[in-house]
């Protein structure tokens, strides 16, 4: 069995959703495609697909094996092109993940410019506030906000973002300003549960630390909802600085308690690999990192 060829057939079948589609894609007879997948399953002593009369679905083992196959085939292709001197430009598929608001406001314009600069790269941008596992979810690079746990992942730190308290100017006219974190007791709050320790808002000033238990009028699970509610005058909310930059510039939100803000959170690009990086990933890191650093240094965060 030609294992690399069998891997390529398996990947085609998994991504197209059927053996027939894989056969058409590879210009290979259907019995040959079926035989190569069966040979691969016999070699692995594992079922890669759950077959039914209606569709071809990956098994749990197949899900894990698919990502490994794609990486192996890509590395082999990279090695062959490098040995043959055929590298003209980065090419292939790249998967990037980031928090929703950061991805939409800051990362997406950089991704757009990257794709214009590298027309042979296709990119999937996955936005979500839950951290994906890079290996299990087949992610090439992740943008992470917050301290990174010790791991085998590699990281490039880009800068920092602030955790800020804000409300509408109208709210502050009705309820008064915030001189210290203790004043939050007399203000209705909108709580964004996506932040760490969302039930207690932590502050610091010099050697004094504050941990304020908030009783929100409204509890939401997205920053956008918290910001919209604060703009509408419902109460004080706490989000990350870049999330309200445009609202502050428009005068619909005002930041309070700046002298009591906790230490800013680091922002990093995280990726796997111990040896040389695939050309497409190196190109993205080299392109995106300086632009992200510049945005984070502009004071809008």
CATH 3.40.190.10 describes domain 163-260? yes
The whole-number average pLDDT for the span 47-73 is 87
Q: Which fold has domain 92-158+269-296?
A: D-Maltodextrin-Binding Protein; domain 2 (3.40.190)
Which residues of the chain form beta strands (DSSP E)? 49-51, 56-58, 92-98, 121-127, 141-145, 154-161, 163-167, 189-192, 200-205, 208-213, 218-220, 236-240, 254-256, 265-271
The continuous run of DSSP H or E covering 281 comes out as: helix 279-296
List the single range of 4-8, 195-199, 233-237, 268-272 with lowest mean pLDDT.
195-199
- pLDDT tens-place string over residues 115-160: 999 999 999 999 988 888 888 888 999 999 999 886 778 999 999 9
pLDDT at 193: 87
pTM of the shown model: 0.67
Question: How far is Cα 223 from Cα 244, in angstroms, rounded to an integer?
Answer: 9
Residue 299: pLDDT band with limits 50, 70, 90:
low
Pairwise pLDDT comparison (138 vs 89), residue with the higher score: 138
pLDDT at 84: 60
pLDDT at 149: 81
Pairwise pLDDT comparison (262 vs 86), residue with the higher score: 262
- pLDDT tens-place string over residues 19-54: 988 898 898 999 999 999 999 999 999 999 987 766
Question: How far is Cα 209 from Cα 201, in angstroms, rounded to an integer?
Answer: 11
- Residues of CATH 1.10.10.10 domain(s) within the chain? 3-83
The whole-number average pLDDT for the span 97-118 is 95
Query: In this model, does residue 268 exceed pLDDT 70?
Result: yes
The whole-number average pLDDT for the span 225-241 is 96
In the CATH scheme, what architecture does the domain 3-83 have? Answer: Orthogonal Bundle (1.10)
Residue 86: pLDDT band with limits 50, 70, 90:
very low
**Beta carbons of 238 and 163 less than 8 angstroms apart:** yes
Q: What share of the chain is helix, strand, coil (3-state, %, to 5)?
A: 45, 25, 30
The whole-number average pLDDT for the span 225-250 is 95
- pLDDT tens-place string over residues 163-186: 999 999 999 999 999 999 999 999
Question: Mean of the per-residue pLDDT values for the chain?
Answer: 90
First CA to last CA distance, the chain = 55
pLDDT at 87: 56
pLDDT at 88: 61
Question: How far is Cα 191 from Cα 113, in angstroms, rounded to an integer?
Answer: 35
Q: Is 265 helix (H, G, I), strand (E, B) or coil?
A: strand
- Residues of CATH 3.40.190.10 domain(s) within the chain? 92-158+269-296, 163-260
Query: In this model, does residue 76 exceed pLDDT 80?
Result: yes
């Amino acid at each position: 069995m030609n294992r690399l060829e069998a891997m390529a057939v398996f990947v085609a079948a998994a991504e197209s959703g059927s053996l027939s589609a894989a056969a058409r894609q590879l210009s290979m007879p259907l019995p040959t495609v079926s035989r190569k997948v069966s040979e691969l399953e016999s070699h692995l002593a594992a079922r890669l697909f759950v077959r039914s009369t209606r569709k071809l679905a990956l098994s749990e083992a197949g899900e894990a094996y698919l990502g490994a196959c794609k990486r192996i085939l890509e590395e082999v292709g990279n090695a062959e092109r490098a040995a043959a001197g055929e590298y003209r430009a980065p090419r292939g598929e790249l998967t990037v993940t980031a928090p929703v608001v950061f991805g939409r406001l800051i990362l997406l314009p950089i991704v757009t410019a990257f794709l214009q600069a590298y027309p042979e790269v296709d990119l999937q941008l996955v936005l979500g506030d839950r951290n994906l596992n890079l290996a299990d979810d087949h992610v090439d690079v992740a943008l992470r906000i917050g301290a990174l746990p010790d791991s085998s992942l590699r990281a490039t730190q880009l800068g920092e973002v602030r955790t800020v308290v804000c409300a509408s100017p109208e709210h502050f006219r009705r309820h008064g300003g915030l001189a210290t974190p203790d004043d939050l007791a007399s203000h209705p709050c909108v709580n964004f549960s996506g932040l760490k320790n969302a039930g207690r808002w932590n502050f610091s000033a010099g050697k004094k630390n504050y941990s304020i238990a908030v009783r929100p009028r409204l509890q939401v699970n997205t920053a956008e909802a918290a910001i919209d509610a604060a703009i509408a005058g419902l109460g004080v909310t706490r989000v990350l600085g870049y999330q309200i930059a445009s609202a502050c510039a428009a005068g619909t939100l005002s930041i309070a308690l700046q002298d009591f803000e906790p230490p800013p959170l680091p922002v990093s690009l995280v990726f796997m690999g111990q040896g040389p990086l695939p050309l497409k990933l190196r190109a993205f890191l080299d392109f995106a990192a300086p632009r992200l650093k510049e945005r984070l240094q502009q004071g809008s965060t």
